[in-house]
Amino acid sequence: MTWKTMTLTGWGRTRRAEVAACRPERAPAAVRLLQGRFDRGILAYGLGRSYGDAPLNDGGHVLLTERLNRMVSFDPDDGTLVCEAGVTFDDLFAAFLPRGFMPPTSPGTSFATVGGAVANDVHGKNHDRVGSFGDHVLWLDLVLPSGEQVRVSPTERPDLFAATIGGVGLTGVILHVCFRLRRVASASVEVRERRMPDLDGFMAGLAEARETAGYSVGWIDGMARGAAMGRGILETAETAPTDPAGTAAKAPRKRAVPVDLPGFALNPFSINLFNQAYYRRVPAAGRTRTLPVRQFLYPLDAIHDWNRIYGKRGFYQFQNVVPDAEAPAALRKLLEAISDARAGSFLAVLKTLGGEGRGHLSFPMRGYTLALDFPRRDGVEDLLARLAAITLDHGGRVYLAKDAVLDPAGFARMYPRLGEFRQVLDSIDPDRRIQSDLSRRLDIRGAVA
């Protein structure tokens, strides 16, 4: 197969990488390709939905996995599915929702791949109920940096399994994933929306929802100040018992952003106007609606290339999690810092997470997670450093799938199982053949022994 030079980016488009890329059609070809020589390492690349530099390997080689996207087997009795790593959540919904099954959990876009879901141990709006994606993986087929193909699971090479779940692609190339789909009664959800007047009210609403609702997520107004700081909309949802007539077979409507918008289009004034209108779209008394589950899970998927609204310079997404006990103080400091910088975003999410993931570098912990987008402008990286410092001060961590600016010292303090992760990598990849821009920036491999 031929290696071609191309430019890749993360979804935020703040980081770019010139790479030599190859797109294998079959798993055996991927195994053979991995046995080559790579002076600056090699990395698997799915569909580039990680926001920062986790999927990039500037100056090195990249194995594109998008055509390794076949369903291998499915057991309708218990929902066990084996598929290739390039299968997307969109593929899963298209194939299995009409049969009464859906993924156990999902990130905020259906265009992420199953391999990416494992590598980032993604979570969804139901984390308090079902955990993250890695919690549902039964086994993986993995090509190690040596070219050896192995199967790992919680009982077969459990350390390597734990390093691969949330391991940002550094243990090798995932070929196949076995996990269980969840049986559902319909393709719809009943959604309840309520205004939350301030941060205390929002946190109380989420604390109640995590104990009672199947799904819970909040939009938060990052521009609100004073008594209104932390106001937003709380959404809770349950699978509907049946689909409203004519809705189950409807394909989601999609539009596209045709060009990069100019950088001045998103400014504090326009964002503030949007946030006020968005807050008031839900009546003061709240409302309940029945929606297609894909519309509820993936509201932004209706707009292809929505990342272009931030212009050619791109944007950063900051997402952290802080433990329950620290959340009231930490969230207030984070929102004050964002408000003081007048850098609030119209895409801002607050929700709860239920517990630790299985992986050495899994992001979740029991606590509150805040995610916001920031257009790439002067001073934003300083703000992100300030947000990371607040997170650290309160015992939290930053999500590697979204990050582009964290430093090695902060990363090491946030992820206490880094030592275990490094031990596994040293045993399977002593020559450091698997590399990424993220691994180099954060010094994930550490000093050579």
Of 187, 183, 238, 243, give the one whose Cα is nearest residue 216: 238
Whose structure tokens read 């987008």? 373
- Is residue 429 predicted with pLDDT exceeding 90? yes
Q: Give the up-direction half-sphere exposure of residue 102: CA atoms within 13 A in the CB hemisphere.
A: 18
CA distances from 163 to 15, 30, 341 (A): 25, 21, 37
CA distances from 200 to 229, 230, 327, 406 (A): 9, 8, 11, 29
Distance CA 122, CA 130 (A): 12
DSSP 8-state symbol, 250: P
Distance CA 70, CA 275 (A): 41
Query: Per residue in 271-295, pLDDT tens?
Result: 778 888 888 899 999 999 999 999 9
For residue 95, give the 3-state DSSP assignment: helix
Distance CA 234, CA 90 (A): 25
Kindly write down the DSSP assignment for every residue of 209-244, as one continuous string.
Answer: HHHH-SEEEEEE-TT--GGGTT-EEEEEEEE-SSPP
Distance CA 409, CA 332 (A): 24
- Is residue 264 predicted with pLDDT exceeding 70? no
* Longest CA span, the chain: 64
- Is residue 59 predicted with pLDDT exceeding 80? yes
Which strands form 149-152's sheet, in the order they lie side by side? 71-75, 80-84, 173-180, 137-143, 149-152
In contact, 236 and 125? CB cutoff 8 Å: no
Question: Which one-letter amino acid corresponds to residue 155?
Answer: T
For residues 380-401, average pLDDT: 97
Instruction: Tell me the whole-structure pTM to 2 decimals.
Output: 0.93
Residues 6+ apart with CB under 8 A from 22: 1, 2, 3, 4, 33, 61, 62, 63, 64
Residues 6+ apart with CB under 8 A from 8: 16, 17, 19, 21, 45, 48, 55, 56, 62
Distance CA 170, CA 438 (A): 10
In contact, 410 and 388? CB cutoff 8 Å: yes
In contact, 327 and 368? CB cutoff 8 Å: yes
Query: Per residue in 162-175, pLDDT tens?
Result: 999 999 999 999 99
What was the pLDDT predicted at 269? Answer: 72
Query: Per residue in 346-383, pLDDT tens?
Result: 778 999 999 999 999 999 999 999 999 998 988 999 99
Q: What tokens does 214 get?
A: 């199947």
Query: Per residue in 179-199, pLDDT tens?
Result: 999 999 999 999 999 999 999
- Is residue 344 predicted with pLDDT exceeding 70? no
**Apex CA 297: angle with CA 325 and CA 324, to 5°?**
0
Of 189, 305, 191, 302, give the one whose Cα is nearest residue 252: 302
